[in-house]
Amino acid sequence: KQEVTQIPAALSVPEGENLVLNCSFTDSAIYNLQWFRQDPGKGLTSLLLIQSSQREQTSGRLNASLDKSSGRSTLYIAASQPGDSATYLCAVRHSTGGFKTIFGAGTRLFVKA
Amino acid sequence: EAGVAQSPRYKIIEKRQSVAFWCNPISGHATLYWYQQILGQGPKLLIQFQNNGVVDDSQLPKDRFSAERLKGVDSTLKIQPAKLEDSAVYLCASSSNRGNFWDTEAFFGQGTRLTVV
């Protein structure tokens, strides 16, 4: 059974700091991995989608890496801003058993001005 | 492009009552998902529709939850009767079928926050 874990559960950093959010999964038979942002009272916004054949994806100040063999993904945020404060979720899509998508519980990020 | 619309935004009901949520996906999106997100947890897929057919409902508590997608567009999710543990945010998402289905991103609505007292 696939399990997705995100560490840390919460993180508080000063503005301008570079930071890394971690996501680990137990079953390496994945089709892709997606990072989402969730703001309070709002739905999820897709940030980056990495296919299983890819090693990383970049969008602006965000860089996501994927190491399928070790069951790990990281989301790197450069030069953090107060507007980056949100919960960040990773979701893994299986490549077997009906292509289920399993979410982690998220990392709650607070960037202090 | 209009996003995924959900209503109501908030709902408070007593246990054993029934409740229904509505979702209007992005125009042209063939796939529609309902997720349940309990406070402090990630979203859990309840049901996935492809057009008006069910692709996956393995985690839907069928004794109390039901969902339908009329004409492959709007969808409703119903809970009857509700339990205290159903308190959660119910998220609807949709994705297109262009290209490889599994490569497409899902777009989420703002969700409906249900409180069962």
Coil, strand or helix: which one is B108? strand
> With an 8 Å Cβ cutoff, are A89 and B58 in contact?
no
Task: Show Cβ contacts of residue A12 under 8 Å, excluding neighbours closer than 6 positions.
Answer: A109, A110, A111, A112
Q: Does A49 touch chain B (CB under 8 A)?
A: yes
Q: Note the pLDDT tens digit of each residue in B64-115.
A: 999 999 888 999 999 999 999 999 999 999 988 654 445 567 789 999 999 9
Per-residue model confidence as pLDDT tens for chain A (113 residues): 889 999 999 999 999 999 999 999 999 888 889 999 999 878 889 899 998 899 999 999 999 999 999 999 999 999 999 999 999 999 998 766 556 788 999 999 999 99
- In whole angstroms, give the CA distance from residue B103 to residue B18: 36
pLDDT score, position A2: 85
Q: Does B96 touch chain A (CB under 8 A)?
A: no
Residue B43: its chain A contacts at CB < 8 A?
44, 89, 103
Q: Among A28, A31, A52, which residue's Cα sits nearest to residue A101?
A: A31
Q: Note the pLDDT tens digit of each residue in B22-57.
A: 999 999 898 899 999 999 899 999 999 988 889 889
Token digits of residue A102? 């399993």
pLDDT score, position B99: 47
Cβ(A50)–Cβ(A66) below 8 Å:
yes
pLDDT score, position B72: 84
In the DSSP assignment, the letter for residue A84 is G
In the DSSP assignment, the letter for residue B105 is P
Give the gap in angstroms from C-alpha B115 to the nearest C-alpha of chain A: 14
